[in-house]
Structure 1
Amino acid sequence: MAPTIKPTCLLMTCAGILTFAASQAVAGDFARITSESEFNSLVVGKKLTLDENYVTVKKNGTLKGKFGGKTLKGNWAWRDGYWCRTLTTHSKNTDCQLWTVSGNQHKVTRDRGNGKTFTYVAN
């Protein structure tokens, strides 16, 4: 006698597969920013928010915003396909980041694409 599959089990399996496929499609919608001119077009001058924090990247190579309720300032440059920023407040370190974009969402991965990832929303 052939085993029977309960409709509830089949439905849950299909829902799980569809959810996974949809999440992969969404993840695949992000495109890497590969040049400084593309970065300038997509990012510079926009207010980028992350929860209660925000930053604005300026054309003159500076950035400003608020992080953790405190003023955030620094400088930036495009180097070897990465956006490199040096903070003059907070941790005062340099970090080169990989940026990808999908609509108004900017996914950023620290440490040349090897570190923590977070997503800004551009306003």
Structure 2
Amino acid sequence: MRIFAGIAAALFLAVPAKADFAKVANAEDFKKIVSGKTLTRPFVRLQVAPGGAISGTGARWEVTGQWSWQGGYFCRDLYWGGSDLGYNCQEVRVNGQRIRFTSDRGQGDFADFRLR
């Protein structure tokens, strides 16, 4: 069970970084950033489609979900390996080929992904 919890946390949590990230302010900018890209980090590969679908894998388990843009935040409902990771609205920031999602409307933990 500890392994499961650790991998679940790694899907959308990360260690602190000092890089400057610019806030993504609206859905149109977000769609331009993620369109045709795969978001990657160790053991995680995700596609966040402009139409609202999330798909990919996390530690070999399927990741699925839906997203929308609400009040300046990326709001997603996510499932990993059949487990409901819940609904959360996240602040999105970008720095070149890196994108950062910070949970709880920018007040929680964050995860950085490479855009490939």
Instruction: State the TM-score, normalized to the length of structure 2.
Output: 0.77
State the partner residue of 1:86: 77
Summarize deviations over 1:36-58 as a string: whole Å, max 9, x none. Answer: 00001112331000111111001
Q: RMSD of the alignment, in Å?
A: 1.6
Consecutive unaligned residues of structure 1, counting only runs of 5 or more, are 1-23
More helix by share: 1
Structure 2 letter corresponding to 1:65: G
1:60 maps onto 2:60 in alignment: no
AA aligned opposite 2:57 = K
The structure carrying a bigger strand percent of its residues is 2
Q: Which has the larger radius of gyration?
A: 1
Verify the 8 A CA contact 2:34 2:50 in the aligned structure 1: no
- Percent identity of the aligned residues? 31
2:100 equivalent to 1:71: no
* Structure 2 unaligned regions, length at least 5: 1-16
Is residue 63–residue 75 contact of structure 1 (8 Å, CA) maintained in 2? yes
Q: Specify the alignment match of 2:33 in structure 1.
A: 42
| Structure of greater relative contact order (alpha carbons < 8 Å, 6+ residues apart) | 2
Count of matched residue positions in the alignment of Structure 1 and Structure 2: 98
Task: List, as ranges, runs of 4+ consecutive aligned residues in structure 1 with deviation greater than 6 Å.
Answer: none
